[in-house]
Amino acid sequence: MNMLPQLAVFDIAGTTLHDESNVGLVLRKTLVDAGVEVSLEEVNEVMGYAKPFAITHLLSIKKDPRAEEPASIDTLHTRFVQDMITHYKTNENVREKSGTSDVFRALKQKGIKIALDTGFDRAITEVILQRVGWTEQGLVDIVVTSDEVPHGRPYPYMIYRAMEQLGIRSIQDVMKIGDTISDLEEGTNAGCKYVIGVTTGAYSRPELEKGPHTHLVAHLNEVLTLF
């Protein structure tokens, strides 16, 4: 039996929050409406990253000169944020992935703190939290968003921020759980002892197998069997 970690850092969309490619579809629409022809497959490749970075990358691969214009990136990101907030406020399908709250409770009963980190900014994240009610139920100890650190994924700063705020001294006491390659890279770059990919989100098992990880699971409740 493995030693219990002190902190579990979960991604949100696609990992703990039900997602039917909603984020990718909204981001694609933002870019297509701005005259950038990108496919959903291309957009999915940057899922998990901070969205200004994702927008910049997609413009770059399309050789769009706006990739070099911070003001244009800001404008596109603002449109994306507005559309994403509307989705999370109004869409009736916004809900946690099945069993998420139960997994949070079970981990907390073991004395493990729960953190959320995300490629979203704080504005979008607050709307999500209001819909799912995790913070009101005391299930989440801290939430770190990509606009609150110098760089989002794959940099490790969101994990380090959570550790700092919660008083976790060693990265060996931290596990990272997410559904994208960028989640796995973030956890690995941070030095987490456990880096766990969820294969029922943005990426399939064969895709996640190509990323750095210690475990792959189909459902979050499988995390409970590791300790």
pLDDT (0 to 100) of residue 227: 79
Return the structure tokens found at 211: 């990323």
Tell me the average pLDDT of the chain.
Answer: 95
**What is the spatial distance between Cα 196 and Cα 1, in angstroms, rounded to a whole number?**
17
**pLDDT values of the chain reduced to their tens digit, one per residue, 227 residues:** 568 999 999 999 999 999 988 999 999 999 999 999 999 999 998 998 989 999 999 999 999 999 999 999 999 999 999 999 999 999 999 999 999 999 999 999 999 999 999 999 999 999 999 999 999 999 999 999 999 999 999 999 999 999 999 999 999 999 999 999 999 999 999 999 999 999 998 899 999 999 999 999 999 999 999 97
pLDDT (0 to 100) of residue 48: 87
Within 8 A by CB and 6+ apart from 204, the residues are: none
Return the structure tokens found at 79: 């449109």
Q: What is the pTM of this model?
A: 0.91
- With 0-12 / 13-18 / 19 or more C-beta atoms within 10 angstroms meaning exposed / middle / buried, residue 92 is exposed
CA distances from residue 4 to 9, 65, 148, 175 in whole angstroms, order as listed = 14, 49, 28, 10
Q: Catalogue all structural domains in the chain, each as residue range(s) with its CATH number.
A: 7-20+94-226 (3.40.50.1000), 22-90 (1.10.150)
The 10 Å CB-count burial string (b at 16+, else e) for 30-60 is bbeeeebebeeebbbbbbbbbbbbbbbebbe
Angle between helices 70-90 and 122-132 (to 10 degrees): 10
Please name every residue paired with 115 in a beta bridge, in sequence order, or none if there are none. 9, 142
pLDDT (0 to 100) of residue 153: 96
* DSSP 3-state of 115: strand
For the stretch 198-211, pLDDT in tens is 999 889 999 999 99
Cα radius of gyration rounded to whole Å, the chain = 17
pLDDT (0 to 100) of residue 3: 82
Within 8 A by CB and 6+ apart from 225, the residues are: none
Scanning the structure block, which residue is given the tokens 């490619």? Answer: 21
